[in-house]
Chains A and B, each alone.
Chain A
Amino acid sequence: MGWLPRHGRVLLRFWSTALASQTEYLFNFSVELLAMAGNLAGSWFVLSLFFRHGQQLGGWRWEEALVVLGAYTLLDGVATTLLRPNLNAIVTLVQNGSLDFVLLKPIDSQFWLSTRLIAPVGLPQIALGAGLMLWAAARAGAAPSPLALASTTVLLLAASVSLYSLWFLVAATSIWFTKIWNATEVLRNVLVAGRYPISAYPSGVRSLLTLVLPVAFLTTVPAEALLARAGSHPLPLALLVAAGLFTASRLFWRHALRFYTSASS
């Protein structure tokens, strides 16, 4: 069996069992859906405060800033669906020694750890984020060409890969430091900064969010592409950042496994 059909079949099994175990906890699903809706309403309200008197935020109008919020909501949906359930579980797997079972399987351990679970509660959030982006872009008067739509999609995919890679890099350090819950939370809170256009921040913070943590590439850059605000072509750079971070996550995981001592029995 080739790589793709084999991994496709594995993914199908992974997700069908993950969905089956979640149907055991339907109440939990509804609570999470409510929490997600409340979160979006909160962000909308905070953003509206900035624009109460018709000002602009870092050169962005209200509707344009909503496109950024839409991109953030979409990425947060990706995080809820795939990243949070899988990558936060790595810490637990290392702590209780169940990582052993993953490492004993004849399949790429990073693939297993990154795709094993799925939380469908994030899927409506992804749809909501995409809808908000398109609606707000139309309100802002932008009429995205098919090319702009395609490049926004690619930029959002690259953003997802970058976010995943950063998160995985942090989670992988649990091989050494088994208590890294706080580290992933810090990462998540930094990414919350991506709710607002990057130019709204003071220049020092802006450099940090562009050069050190590529928050700018996650939300502002895709929003700019959709609004045709981008002066230069950000696509190659965003792809380069995503590819670089992804490669780093793979190399780092391989390195980390050399230090795995396996929780004692």
Chain B
Amino acid sequence: MGTNGDAPMAAGAGSIQVQGLGKTYRVADKLPGLGGTMRHLLRRRLRDVVAVRDVSFSIEAGEMVGFLGPNGAGKTTTLKMLSGLIHPSTGTVRVAGHVPQRRQRSFLQAITLVMGQKQQLIWDLPPLDSLRVNAAVYGLDEADSRRRIGELAEMLELGEALTRPVRKLSLGQRMKAELLAALLHRPEVLFLDEPTLGLDVNAQARVRQFLADYNRRTGATVLLTSHYMGDITALCPRVLLIHGGQLVHDGGLADLTSRLAPCRAVRLDLREPVPADAITPFGTVEQMDGREVRLLIPRERLTEAVAGLLAHFDVLDLEVSDPPIEELIGGLFRQGGRP
């Protein structure tokens, strides 16, 4: 739904298509010390570093997609190529019907990039001053920009923070003001790079809620990277997982969990203690502590095993859970492997 009479976006207007995208940086290696510096000056040793390799995906207008990967996996490089900041080495990209690196005005009017670790607000002045600059740059008239600022400030619960110098705002208020500045021109496509970085749990939750509302109200497409899985699980039904510059998963978060964790954890609370070998036919016993048992059961056998456990033992309580997604993905990255 559009807000205050703003029409929702045309179907497909905010879609993203990426085909065979790659980026290779040429970097100069330099040995430490004076000798290394002299050698570096006389004979540079250049080598190519592949940051992104053959990445393909497409995102429909209005989708909210999580972009996951460890540091240096190529997430930010990909976002910068999608927003037209850097030129791809290979492949093609279309965002909202445009080729990003041409940086046409209509394209820049249609997108935004929020970077959790960089800020565009003027440090010494209240956010309102920066917002007025942005309004002029995006060609919004006074009345329109005032209305949009009021609307977004209300959604973000910014209130009087807009009239206090940025340097005096809390990190949470600053991030929310950054979001306001980035969304003032009502972009169709949002690239969000760690938008909740460094925020406390409450501020994170508010930003998440705001992003969900914004997506629902405007139908904007959102591609979000975050180190906080909470952001992803709360907002993104679909995730892209990138590792070593390559896309290793594109699908639902639940699919990713089942690929990463083929078993589910079952915790049993029994009326009477039972011997361990009575439990082993149902799954792998992880822990047994008197009447409390924790075992892992392959997903495909879960229903049958749970029914068997309930039939054979006097069960007071039973709980089935997935291992936390952070642990699963963290484990994957530590192994350096694919799911």
Binding site for B on A (CB under 8 A): 1, 6, 9-10, 12-14, 17, 20-21, 24, 96-98, 100-101, 103-107, 112, 258, 260-262, 264-265
Of A1, A13, A106, which contacts B133 at CB under 8 A?
A13
Give Cα A100–Cα B108 distance, bound, in whole angstroms: 12
Could you give, for residues 106-142 of chain B, a 1 whenever the CB lies within 8 Å of some chain A CB and a 0 otherwise? 1011011101011110111100011011111111000
Do A10 and B136 have beta carbons less than 8 Å apart? yes
Binding site for A on B (CB under 8 A): 25, 76, 80, 83-87, 103, 105-106, 108-109, 111-113, 115, 117-120, 122-125, 129-130, 132-139, 193-194
Given known contacts A103-B103, A104-B85, A106-B105, A9 and B136 CB-to-CB distance under 8 angstroms: yes
Kindly list chain B residues whose C-beta atoms are within 8 Å of the C-beta of A14. Answer: 133
Do B105 and A17 have beta carbons less than 8 Å apart? no
Give Cα A105–Cα B85 distance, bound, in whole angstroms: 11
Do B125 and A264 have beta carbons less than 8 Å apart? no
Kindly list chain B residues whose C-beta atoms are within 8 Å of the C-beta of A104. Answer: 83-85, 108, 111-113
Of A1, A100, A106, A107, which contacts B85 at CB under 8 A?
A100
Do A17 and B138 have beta carbons less than 8 Å apart? no
Give Cα A100–Cα B124 distance, bound, in whole angstroms: 20
Give Cα A24–Cα B108 distance, bound, in whole angstroms: 33
Given known contacts A6-B139, A107-B137, A101 and B120 CB-to-CB distance under 8 angstroms: yes
Report which residue of B118, B133, B139 has the largest number of chain A beta carbons within 10 angstroms of its beta carbon: B133
Question: Closest approach, in angstroms, between the C-beta of B227 and any C-beta of chain A?
Answer: 12
Do A261 and B25 have beta carbons less than 8 Å apart? yes
Given A17-B122, A21-B122, A103-B103, 13 more A-B residue pairs with CB atoms under 8 Å apart are A1-B139, A13-B135, A13-B137, A97-B115, A100-B85, A101-B120, A103-B85, A105-B108, A106-B109, A106-B139, A260-B85, A261-B86, A262-B86
Give Cα A173–Cα B129 distance, bound, in whole angstroms: 31
Give Cα A100–Cα B105 distance, bound, in whole angstroms: 15
Given known contacts A17-B125, A265-B76, A260 and B86 CB-to-CB distance under 8 angstroms: yes
- Prevailing SS type, chain B contact patch: mixed
Do B108 and A262 have beta carbons less than 8 Å apart? no
Give Cα A206–Cα B70 distance, bound, in whole angstroms: 59
Do B118 and A97 have beta carbons less than 8 Å apart? yes
Give Cα A104–Cα B295 distance, bound, in whole angstroms: 52
Report which residue of A9, A10, A258, A261 has the largest number of chain B beta carbons within 10 angstroms of its beta carbon: A261
Given known contacts A1-B139, A262-B85, A20 and B129 CB-to-CB distance under 8 angstroms: yes
Kindly list chain A residues whose C-beta atoms are within 8 Å of the C-beta of B117. Answer: 265
Given known contacts A97-B118, A264-B76, A106 and B137 CB-to-CB distance under 8 angstroms: yes
Q: Could you list 27 examples of A-B contacts with CB < 8 Å?
A: A1-B139, A6-B136, A9-B136, A10-B133, A10-B136, A13-B132, A13-B135, A13-B136, A13-B137, A14-B133, A17-B125, A17-B132, A17-B133, A21-B124, A97-B115, A98-B119, A100-B113, A100-B118, A103-B84, A105-B108, A105-B134, A106-B108, A106-B109, A107-B137, A260-B86, A265-B117, A265-B194
Question: Closest approach, in angstroms, between the C-beta of B106 and any C-beta of chain A?
Answer: 8
Identity of the chain B residue whose Cβ is nearest the Cβ of A264 in the assembled complex: B76
Kindly list chain A residues whose C-beta atoms are within 8 Å of the C-beta of B120. Answer: 98, 101
Report which residue of B103, B125, B136 has the largest number of chain A beta carbons within 10 angstroms of its beta carbon: B136
Identity of the chain A residue whose Cβ is nearest the Cβ of B193 in the assembled complex: A265
Kindly list chain B residues whose C-beta atoms are within 8 Å of the C-beta of A258. Answer: 87
Kindly list chain A residues whose C-beta atoms are within 8 Å of the C-beta of B133. Answer: 10, 13-14, 17
Identity of the chain B residue whose Cβ is nearest the Cβ of A100 in the assembled complex: B85
